[in-house]
Amino acid sequence: MSRLASVLVPFALGTALAAQTTVFTGARILPGGAPPIADGVLVVTGGRIAAVGDAATPVPDGAAIVDCRGRTITPGLIDASFRGGAAAGDLNEQGDEVTPHLRALDSLDPDDPALARARAAGVTAVHLMPGTRNVIGGLGCVVKTAGTDPAAMLVKADVSLRIVMGSEPSAENRAIRGGRVDSIYYRRPTTRMGVVWETRRAFHEAKQALELSLGATPAPPDRGREVLQRVLRGDLTAYTTARSEQDIRTALRIAAEFGYRTVIDEAQDAWVVADELLAAQVTVLLGAPSAAQVQGSAGRDGADPRYATAKLLADRGIPFVITTGTNTAALELVREAMFAARNGVAPAQAIDAVTIAPARLLGIADRTGSLAAGKDADFVVWSHDPLDPAAVAESVHIDGKPVPASR
């Protein structure tokens, strides 16, 4: 306890003086995407990392020294598919099933308890996407997990377009069979076919409009269509949520059909379609590898998760990122990485799969995801190796500022 206090006290000073240099010494540093440093030194100045290196790294004069012997420092974790961050219902616009232009950022509630929980568990940035109730939900963004102003928390806006396969987009819809139609839930799609049809129609119209606009008369602007056209042009990556084998194949097929780049989100059945995934050269977001079954609203999608999936993806060389995803049974992100490691993924790769790999995928690796000079000082001091089940995030730093580790 007293050691913990000695760790925390200088932080309080550090926040008072923004330009203050703080040096973390003696820890084992896992920089992310680079070999570990046994007796490492991390120099933080003004919210950014000034230097990372071994014990020989020069310590600036007047710097506050934090002794981290026996600790492990990793980059702040990045959850590339995060459930929460907004009030329930605010991430699903039920007025329409295809809403490509809606921004999850607009619903972000910095006070959301899920953010606080993630933060306390060492997650410093999350990829917040619209919910899974729409066929095409809208635009995702990456935000830091601490802050009061969404604009200040934002790392990158419009990083993804969420498309959802499977049963969720049709889950509560009712077909119009006469009677009073006084609910917006009387609508398509009510089947998986309908979901696919809606996706295809949206892209088809976008593509048609794109081809037309090359001609003399530009089509009238449509903000949703413009977003889809960005996907078609390759300026924006689609994140297709597809859990079961069937849905993953569909996702790959539509992407190939319209020629856009996609990431497969959730992908519990990836072990069945590894060949296709490899051939399509897609990245896989593996949601909650610790879960023995898919729980929550997607439970009836029919996916059959296996503990060995992560190792299989690693062995086959399919790029993957570990997330918590939509599964309500998901553990903390670091525990999911631990789980993957215990099921055969190399420890370094497991850590990378929650730090530098998602950062690269989301296009934010220039700011966070690894410990390197010039990057944001987002890092976590762990009591043990983060893949040790006893590991606790003793202190979590976002932009150099410690955030409350507990609660």
Partner 1 sequence: MRRYLPLALAAAVSPFCARAAAQDVLLQARRIVVAPDAVLDDGRVLLRQGKVAYVGTEVPAEARARARRVDYGPAFVVPGFVLAQTTLGHDADLAERALPFTPDLRAAEAADPWQEDLLELPRHGVTALALAPASGNVAGGIAALVKSGRERAVVGDDLYLTLSLARNARQAERPPTSLMGAVDLLRSAFDGVRTGIGQGPDAAVLRQAMQGTRGVFVYADNFAELNAALDLGRDFGLRLVLVGAAHAEKVLPRLVQQQAAVVLGTLRPELRRAELELPARLAVAGVPFCFGGDPELLRQSAALAVQYGLDRRSALQALTRVPAALLDRDGTLGALRQGHAADFVVFTGDPLDLSSAHVATWVDGVLVAGSEPGAAPVAEPPAAAAGVR
Of the pair 97, 394, the CB lying nearest partner 1 is at: 97
Q: Which of residues 80-139 bind partner 1 (CB under 8 A)?
A: 86-87, 89-96, 99, 101-111, 130, 138
Q: Find the shortest distance in angstroms from Cβ 132 to partner 1.
A: 13
193-210: burial string, b at 16+ Cβ within 10 Å, e else: ebbbebbeebbebbbebb
Of the candidate residues 9, 59, 184, 193, the single one contacting partner 1 (CB under 8 A): 184
From the CB of residue 126, how many other CB atoms can be counted at a distance below 10 Å? 32
**Where do runs of H (alpha helix) occur along 234-365?**
245-258, 274-280, 309-316, 333-342, 347-352, 356-362
Q: Which of residues 286-325 bind partner 1 (CB under 8 A)?
A: none
Of the pair 103, 316, the CB lying nearest partner 1 is at: 103
Q: Find the shortest distance in angstroms from Cβ 380 to partner 1.
A: 26
- Chain Cα centroid distance, residue 326: 11
**Where do runs of H (alpha helix) occur along 274-332?**
274-280, 309-316
Pairwise CA distance, residues 353 & 21, whole Å: 30
Pairwise CA distance, residues 136 & 93, whole Å: 10
Q: Find the shortest distance in angstroms from Cβ 183 to partner 1.
A: 5
Q: Find the shortest distance in angstroms from Cβ 304 to partner 1.
A: 32
Q: Find the shortest distance in angstroms from Cβ 330 to partner 1.
A: 23
H or E, element range at 322: strand 320-323
Of the pair 96, 205, the CB lying nearest partner 1 is at: 96
Query: How far lies 307's CA from each of 288, 340, 358, in Å?
Result: 10, 8, 21
Q: Which of residues 137-166 bind partner 1 (CB under 8 A)?
A: 138, 148-151
Residue 104: name the closest of 152, 156, 148 by CA.
156
Of the pair 97, 266, the CB lying nearest partner 1 is at: 97
Residue 134: name the closest of 86, 185, 175 by CA.
185
Q: Find the shortest distance in angstroms from Cβ 297 to partner 1.
A: 16
Of the pair 101, 316, the CB lying nearest partner 1 is at: 101
Q: Find the shortest distance in angstroms from Cβ 17 to partner 1.
A: 20
Q: Find the shortest distance in angstroms from Cβ 84 to partner 1.
A: 13
Pairwise CA distance, residues 393 & 390, whole Å: 10
Using CA atoms of 380, 381, 387, 389 in order, give the dihedral in degrees to the nearest 10.
-120
Pairwise CA distance, residues 31 & 118, whole Å: 20
Residue pair 231/215 in contact by the 8 Å Cβ criterion: no
The two structure tokens encoding residue 188: 């398509």
Of the pair 148, 281, the CB lying nearest partner 1 is at: 148
Of the pair 173, 395, the CB lying nearest partner 1 is at: 173
Of the pair 96, 304, the CB lying nearest partner 1 is at: 96
Q: Find the shortest distance in angstroms from Cβ 150 to partner 1.
A: 6
Of the candidate residues 69, 174, 201, 223, the single one contacting partner 1 (CB under 8 A): 223
Letters for 29-68 (x = contact with partner 1 by CB under 8 A, - = none) are: ----------------------------------------
Counting contacts by CB under 8 A, is residue 189 touching partner 1?
Answer: no
The two structure tokens encoding residue 376: 């944001």
Interface residue list for partner 1 (CB under 8 A): 86-87, 89-96, 99, 101-111, 130, 138, 148-151, 182-185, 221, 223
